[in-house]
Chain A
Amino acid sequence: MRFQGSSTYVATDDLMLAVNAAVTLERPLLVKGEPGTGKTKLAEEVASALGMPLLEWHVKSTTKAQQGLYEYDAVSRLRDSQLGDQRVKDISNYIVKGTLWQAFSYDKPVVLLIDEVDKADIEFPNDLLRELDRMEFFVYETRELVKAKHRPIVFITSNNEKELPDAFLRRCFFHYIRFPDKETMEKIVEVHYPGIKQTLLREALRTFFEVREVPGLKKKPSTSELLDWLKLLLAEDIPPDALRSQDNKKIIPPLHGALLKNEQDVHLFEKLVFMTRQSRN
């Protein structure tokens, strides 16, 4: 069973190779790339392409590795004990399974997504080394060894906010999703808006890549912004001509607010356009 992209996801050859190697060799695949390059989506797509359930663990700055295994809800237990609840006698009533445990206890292989691993404390990845290597961990409270019935296929995404520890990196495969070139982007747009008019697509992409080239942008528009923008263009039925307009007054692309989300960027962009217009006059 090989992953080859899907009708809703465009995978480049190198990405397919990476995914398939990671699946075959049972190593976690660490995926990095600019925001909106489909890192999170990849795990979903692989899961559905391979017909496996997807378990997601979205990491936040306060997330601890232990939470992915299990948490012992001592506070509830203490409370129950005060209320004379009988459940209190069995500690396992207060062990709450984390995402990793859930993934380990499935009867068939699952895809496990650890999303935005770099958000957490720098120790976080190190605390998961053994679990990801051996796919097992120990529950101290119940003296139980939890072992994965099937090794999950693990995807880990990072936005590069923090460096990841070397020991962790050595255990992963690594793939950097390059920002899509024009050709790939056309395909991506087509899976989202099948049958989109070629003229509109071409003009929109030209504008999009031009905007990305504007120097000094705080946040370059990404795939998600392009898709949002196209949705608006389609909804408003903007003709492709409007994007190509040589008319100096109309040189600002319509609805560009969807491409540039940062107010400063919008200003910068408008100023630049204004200056170009001046120099053309």
Chain B
Amino acid sequence: MLAGFFLKLKEAKIPVSIKEYLTLMEGMKQGVISPSIEDFYYLSRMTLVKDEANYDKFDKAFGAFFHGVETLVGAQIDLPLEWLLKQAELHLSPEEKAAIEGMGGWEKLMETLKQRLEEQKERHQGGNKMIGTAGTSPFGAFGYNPEGVRIGQKKSRNRSAVKVWDQREYRNLDDKIELGTRNLKIALRRLRRFAREGAPDELDLDGTINRTAKNAGYLDIAMRPERRNTVKVLMFLDIGGSMDDHIKLCEELFSASKTEFKHLEYFYFHNCLYDYVWKDNKRRREERTRTWDILHKYSHDYKIIFVGDASMSPYEILEPGGSVEYHNDEAGKVWMQRMLDVYHKAIWLNPEPEEVWSYRQSTQIIKEVMGNRMFPTTIGGIERAMRALNK
């Protein structure tokens, strides 16, 4: 809609494109909605926002923009839609103007709108519902009652006393993703590239010729097995410290791409790997998995990803009984080494900034145990990490 609104959305970091904006204009032109702000809210949302994670951002931007509008124009506006279009006209770029010309031009657009609005007025005035409520309407400054101008709807919406966008119903959808912001998206792509090894299934031509020849010239088809999704991963996540949020982020990152992996299993540990890990952090004391069992259960072609900040007392890595959780008979380092002996493809992701690693003795020790394969959880870091896993 109006360029200002569009820009507001851009400002709010919602990825909107001109193409979608024009679609919205087209929607307005074709009159797919009644001229209520609420319907405009829905139409613009479905046109401009393609991810429910951005709904909340959209709600905020929408609210902010229309709040601005309220203070700007006072209480006189009966036809916000028309006004919106006027605004749009003022702010359109030449290309956009051209596009609108292509749709029949502004005059026509405005005319249709006016006409529609007139029709509705007539229809509604009998019911004595139109406008009139200026100032008292829940939509306040617009001075019109959306119940009054809404068309084609028999039942009243009891919800509409509160603006939909002010309800911020999608807040928690965003909270989940907010953590990762943009990075997560790109990181995901990297991960997928990592997960997709080899080509999809196809006719094995050489094999077919070979076998057909052997079969006295009668066709004997050979198919190559599907080769993608072959990556198997075990993740070990350090949980129970200040890094929890970051660790969680990594977990989400991987689980978001879990369909790309043939197998992806998670386990939790605290600070360093010892004789036990667990799957459910809430029940870490009752339901543990022996590290030995993991070593036996998962074949050596699994790739191992540790995620943790590796900051602890060196004692926790190097000495028996060093664990903060319980008494470990063997040092963490011994367990780490055992794991690395079985699984050759292993890396450690460290959410702490790479610059501080060298100040922490424990980080240095772990890095050394890992044969230097410790990477930060930045895009570059993840990319390097995946490359190391593929080597």
Contact = CB atoms under 8 A, between A and B. Distances in A.
A178 B169 contact: yes
Interface stretch (A43-51, A162-170, A243-251): A162-170
A25 B282 contact: no
A227 to B, nearest CB: 24
Nearest to A176: B52
Contacts of B46: 17-18, 21, 173-175
14 contacts: A17-B46, A20-B32, A21-B43, A24-B27, A24-B32, A25-B27, A62-B201, A164-B50, A170-B50, A173-B46, A173-B47, A174-B46, A174-B50, A174-B51
A65 interface: no
Contacts of A162: 257, 259-260
Contacts of A14: 42
Interface in A43-83: 61-62, 64, 75, 78-79, 82
A274 to B, nearest CB: 15
B152 interface: yes
Interface residues of A, number: 36
B77 interface: no
Interface in B137-188: 152-153, 157, 169-170, 185, 188
Contacts of B49: 174
> What are the 10 A-B residue pairs with the smallest beta carbon separation, nearest first?
A176-B52, A169-B50, A21-B32, A174-B50, A173-B46, A24-B32, A17-B42, A161-B259, A14-B42, A18-B46
A24 B153 CA distance: 18
A191 to B, nearest CB: 16
A216 B33 CA distance: 41
Contacts of B112: none
A30 interface: yes
A220 interface: no
A131 B192 CA distance: 25
A2 interface: yes
A151 interface: no
B30 A25 contact: yes
B226 interface: yes
A65 to B, nearest CB: 12
Interface of B: 15, 17, 19-20, 23, 26-27, 30, 32-33, 39, 42-43, 46-47, 49-52, 55, 152-153, 157, 169-170, 185, 188, 192, 200-201, 203, 218-219, 221, 226, 229, 257, 259-260, 282
A122 interface: yes
Interface of A: 2, 13-14, 17-18, 20-21, 24-25, 27, 30, 32, 61-62, 64, 75, 78-79, 82, 119, 121-122, 161-164, 166, 169-170, 172-176, 178, 216
Contact of B192 (A79, A122, A170, A178): A122
Where chain A touches its partner, the secondary structure class is mixed
A25 B26 contact: yes
A27 B50 contact: no
Given A13-B157, A25-B30, A79-B219, A172 B188 contact: no
Contact of B23 (A13, A25, A32, A61): A25
B211 to A, nearest CB: 13
Contacts of A18: 42, 46
A78 B219 contact: yes
Contacts of B203: 75
B27 A21 contact: yes
B166 to A, nearest CB: 15
Nearest to A25: B27
Most buried by B among A62, A161, A163: A163
A216 B279 CA distance: 13
A61 B259 contact: yes
Contacts of B51: 169, 174
Given A14-B42, A164-B50, A173-B46, 16 more contacts: A13-B153, A17-B43, A21-B27, A21-B43, A21-B46, A24-B30, A24-B32, A27-B23, A32-B52, A62-B226, A121-B200, A169-B51, A174-B51, A175-B46, A176-B55, A216-B282
